[in-house]
Amino acid sequence: MEISSIPSFLDYYDKIRQRTERVIACIPADQFDWTYREGKFTFADQIRHIAAIERYLYAETVQGRSAAYTGCGKALADDPEQVLAFFREKHQESLAIFSSLSDQGLQQKIQTPGGGQITCWKWLRALIEHEIHHRAHIYTYLGILGIPTPPIFGLTSEQVQEQSTQASKI
């Protein structure tokens, strides 16, 4: 998928973020520091990481600056309310930066932290893929804990299967 305009990117990214917000809302406040294994990201780490990478890596580099990501630890935000506030604040800061880009700027090359070059629209696509990747971790963590989650596109796989079975009988 090529991103050809800033408004279309922002609209699509908003839909991605809404889905992420819906699954984050399923995390019980007393589970924000839960992880499946010592040394692995907690729920809170996942949320802080999405926010910090968006703002301090992607939003910085699309401006021609060096990445400023320094991690996703509790120093950024600790309790659930602070974590969610940080998540939303960094997203708003990033959106302001992304909104300032021009459609022509989407074709410019971005310097990645690894020293490579990538077209800006592809870099923004990678941002979306990154968020989806970490959202999947949150879904998995919630599944391990037996906490129900919302379907991504409105129906569960079981509901789609049931509808398909009914439709094939007609």
Residue pLDDT, tens place only, 88-113: 999 999 999 999 999 999 999 999 99
Q: What ranges do the domains of the chain cover? A: 6-168
Measured distance CA(7)–CA(9) in Å, rounded:
5
Predicted confidence at residue 77, as pLDDT, reads: 97
pLDDT, averaged across the chain: 95
What pLDDT does residue 87 have?
98
Contact partners, residue 99, CB within 8 Å, separation at least 6: 6, 10
Tell me the average pLDDT across 29-41.
Answer: 97
Residues of the chain above pLDDT 70, percent: 99
Instruction: Please determine, for residue 120, whether its predicted confidence score (pLDDT) is greater than 90.
Output: yes
Architecture of domain 6-168: Up-down Bundle (1.20)
